[in-house]
Structure 1
């Protein structure tokens, strides 16, 4: 299992904030990219982040997560589709799909405690989606974590 970039076993409050903001930045870029998937994700991320105050540490963590999503997208999408009964990945809302990809990628890499990865994804779904989105994301990621043996 690979650890996330420069992640200690007992991160400080400041480091946790960097990870939380990094996840949000990754989600924002993945969302924008999903709307225009014919563009390069790195270019989309730069454009999205130019309007925000994104630190170097946040960019590094966000880029790490985005690379994981992109490299495993077909596998992640297949597993998400399988777990979301009667919902093909294309039918899932863009925010929810982006959060699910991000959360599943973080769970599958193993560097973040599973409950933390799920909780952070649910928090993103609440912030950028709705309470209903959060419940959907929680259910799918909990099932995903069980399927891969993370919990």
Structure 2
């Protein structure tokens, strides 16, 4: 899986004026950068806050990689949760993949996206799981041209059900009115 539009340091998917979406895009990029460069997640968070996030982000080599509208607290929470729980998140993600397709075989951006989503699923239930799925699916469509978004959709659904099964429990139907 590698029909990626470009590395996350390029132009990120647009957040469309939605700060929470901007936070998720930035979290995927930060997790990618942390893994690829072997950088400490706290250092990456600080770098992003200083150089890439918000309307006043420093003009530097990132240029187009800036994300003007972002919920910085959500961004930091996603990255910190993913970093702190990476082993358990990866284990859960791995259970959602085909046995012959281990996590290490995934495109690194897709891996970062799944880790960010899993970190959100593993935290309190706001927003609802279906919202998290839709947000990361939009992000996947921004980063990839090929089959990755469809693949991500299946894995995101499996992760949501693993972490928040109660949100997917069937709703008991009301008894039929007697007439």
TM-score bin (small chain): 0.7 to 0.9
- Pairing 1:96-135 to 2, within 5 Å after superposition: 96-109=110-123, 110-135=125-150
Does structure 2 conserve the Cα–Cα contact (< 8 Å) formed by 1:25 and 1:59? no
Give the Å deviation of 1:47: 3.0
Q: Distance in 2 between matches of 1:117 and 1:103?
A: 7
Q: What's 1:34 paired with?
A: 35
The correspondence for 2:87, drawn from 74, 93, 97, is 74
Residues 1:143 and 2:172 are matched in the alignment: no
- CA deviations over 1:27-84 (Å, ceiling 9, x no partner): 11111111012x2112123334544342696222100111111121101101111111
Question: Do the aligned partners of residues 63 and 146 (structure 1) sit closer, same or farther apart at CA in structure 2, a change above 3 Å counting?
Answer: same
Q: What's 1:4 paired with?
A: none
Q: What's 1:87 paired with?
A: 101
Stretches of structure 1 that go unaligned for 5 or more consecutive residues are 1-15
Q: Distance in 1 between matches of 2:23 and 2:151?
A: 22
The structure with the larger Rg is: 2
Q: What is the TM-score when the length of structure 1 is the normalising length?
A: 0.80
Q: What's 2:24 paired with?
A: 23
Question: Do the aligned partners of residues 128 and 45 (structure 1) sit closer, same or farther apart at CA in structure 2, a change above 3 Å counting?
Answer: farther
Q: What's 1:65 paired with?
A: 78
Count of residues in Structure 1 that have an aligned counterpart in Structure 2: 135
Q: CA RMSD in A?
A: 2.0
Q: What is the TM-score when the length of structure 2 is the normalising length?
A: 0.68
Does structure 2 conserve the Cα–Cα contact (< 8 Å) formed by 1:76 and 1:104? yes
Stretches of structure 2 that go unaligned for 5 or more consecutive residues are 1-16, 56-68, 169-179
Greater helix content? 1
